[in-house]
Amino acid sequence: MRFTTARLCGGEALMAISADILDLDMAHAKEVFASDGCEIKQYDELMLVFVWNGMEVTLYPQGKVMFFPLKDKGLCISYASTILRSLE
């Protein structure tokens, strides 16, 4: 999977943006991460916010994944790949 990254929130957050436009099932994503023991902080059809590996992760239906706090672009892409693979 190919990504670009964007630095957000004054450099404290990174977003991985999938080169491919996805249409993720947010209800399924919520079930997957809740069953993995992640704390679900917010959920609707437009985003899922949960705690994963000590970070707040925001997942969007288009395949964008934001991590807070995170400053390493390489880790951002690796983590986003892991998150999206878990939804396959």
What CATH number is given to the structural domain containing 23?
3.30.310
pLDDT value at position 30?
98
Cα–Cα distance measured from residue 68 to residue 55, given in angstroms and rounded to the nearest whole number: 5
Task: Count how many domains the chain has.
Answer: 1
Which one-letter DSSP state was computed for residue 28?
H
CA-to-CA separations, 72 to 13, 19, 26, 87, in angstroms, rounded: 9, 19, 26, 23
What's the predicted TM-score (pTM) here? 0.91
- Going residue by residue through the chain, which has 88 residues, state the pLDDT in tens, using 9 for 90 and above: 778 777 776 778 999 998 888 999 999 999 999 999 999 999 999 999 999 999 999 999 999 999 999 999 899 999 999 999 999 8
Contact 62, 13 (CB under 8 A): no
pLDDT value at position 56?
97
Structural domain range at position 16: 3-85
In three-state secondary structure terms, 82 is helix
